């Protein structure tokens, strides 16, 4: 069997591909792990590979471009050269980043089968570059591994030509596999001075590149009904500095700013927080996993994880400071019983995905 190429370029991709790498290892299928370097900061990439106890990537691409278009082109060009050398049986990509689209296009141009893990997600918000990436990738993929019935229905409605498989989401696999390890190894709670707290993240371009959003975010923090623990994304830090807001946030006594965290530390914070405020899609999934089960306020106008909303875990609150604060008060004042099962699967997504690959390529 020719090797399976597993591609990752960002923190969420590393996390969600880790269970697939383990499943490939267990089945003794040949594979090569390629890191595309879209998150070039140590804390955003290598730290997660080490946390997940994965072997170092077989190939690490050094990406120098900064603009989205140039970055996409550079990854595609370097992946093309690599795929010519490797000649894999299938290229596996996960999610909706520039890495995903670039690697998929490179494989498509060489007539190499593409497997899209987490296929079929739709926010129906074309302002988001991720929406373009995931749609384009779905329509050139040969194998579409969908996390939910909704995602499968989206693909059927769009008449994609690849084979569709309902597997669940490997994010749940990852939480189940790593939360016990995180609780043993992480010391992050020793750094938290608050008994109860909300965990906040923000990184999406349509949010943090907007000064009005940053101002709203700052006011939410200053008026929050409970302390905030805020691991700050490099992009957000840069935008706050550019707008002379960072020092103001650092002075807030009810806010603890942390550097980007490893996966294990972040799992422990999710486990111990009272509420999550985020614009991340992956966190909306992780919050539904057994052992976490936390309410999430989604500071966006839409979500491609509607299942989390339907199950009662997540609520879309937009970016207006008043709406966010009202939703925070409501979430804290009203106890809500959350489902015991995640709408994103039971932790067997990676095994189901690798079973398909083994059947068709081994």
Q: Which residues are catalytic?
A: 203
Alpha carbons 240 and 234: distance in angstroms, whole number: 10
- Backbone conformation region of residue 125, classed left if phi is above 0, alpha if psi is from -120 to 50, else beta: beta
Under a CB-based contact definition with an 8 Å cutoff, are residues 217 and 202 in contact? yes
Question: 174 in helix, strand or coil?
Answer: helix
Q: Report helix angle 98-109 to 68-86, nearest 10.
A: 40
Alpha carbons 111 and 104: distance in angstroms, whole number: 10
Cα torsion 25, 28, 31, 32: sign = positive
Q: Where do runs of H (alpha helix) occur along 257-305?
A: 263-272, 281-286
Q: How far from 184 is each of 187, 338, 348, CA to CA, in Å? A: 8, 26, 23
Q: Report helix angle 321-333 to 211-223, nearest 10.
A: 30
Under a CB-based contact definition with an 8 Å cutoff, are residues 34 and 3 in contact? no
């Amino acid at each position: 069997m020719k090797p399976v190429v597993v591609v990752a370029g960002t923190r969420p991709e590393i996390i969600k591909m880790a269970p697939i790498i383990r499943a490939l290892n267990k089945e003794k299928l040949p594979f090569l792990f390629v890191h595309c370097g879209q998150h070039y900061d140590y804390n955003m990439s290598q730290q997660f590979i080490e946390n997940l106890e994965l072997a170092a990537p077989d190939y690490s691409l050094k990406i120098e471009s900064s603009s989205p278009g140039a970055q996409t082109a550079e990854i595609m060009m370097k992946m093309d050269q690599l795929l010519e050398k490797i000649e894999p049986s299938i290229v596996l990509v996960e999610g909706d980043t520039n890495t995903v689209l670039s690697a998929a296009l490179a494989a498509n141009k060489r007539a190499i089968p593409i497997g899209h893990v987490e296929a079929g997600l739709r926010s129906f918000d074309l302002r988001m570059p991720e929406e373009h990436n995931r749609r384009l990738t779905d329509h050139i993929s040969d194998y579409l591994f969908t996390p939910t019935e909704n995602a499968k229905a989206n693909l059927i409605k769009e008449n994609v030509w690849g084979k569709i498989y309902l597997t669940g989401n490997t994010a749940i696999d990852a939480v189940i596999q790593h939360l016990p390890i995180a609780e043993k190894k992480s010391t992050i709670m020793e750094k938290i001075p608050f008994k109860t707290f909300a965990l906040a993240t923000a990184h999406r371009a349509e949010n943090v590149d907007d000064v009005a959003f940053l101002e709203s975010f700052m006011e939410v923090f200053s008026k929050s009904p409970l302390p905030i623990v805020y691991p700050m994304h490099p992009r957000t830090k840069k935008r706050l500095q550019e707008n002379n807001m960072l020092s103001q946030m650092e002075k807030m006594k009810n806010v603890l700013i942390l550097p980007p965290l490893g996966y294990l530390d972040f799992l422990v914070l999710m486990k111990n927080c009272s509420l999550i405020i985020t614009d991340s899609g992956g966190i909306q999934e992780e919050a539904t996993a057994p052992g976490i089960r936390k309410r999430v306020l989604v500071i966006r106008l839409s979500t491609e994880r509607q299942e989390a909303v339907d199950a009662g875990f997540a609520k879309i609150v937009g970016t207006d400071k008043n709406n966010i604060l009202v939703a925070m008060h409501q979430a804290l004042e009203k106890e809500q019983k959350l489902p015991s099962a995640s709408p994103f699967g039971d932790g067997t997504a990676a095994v189901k995905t690798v079973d398909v690959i083994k059947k068709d390529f081994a």
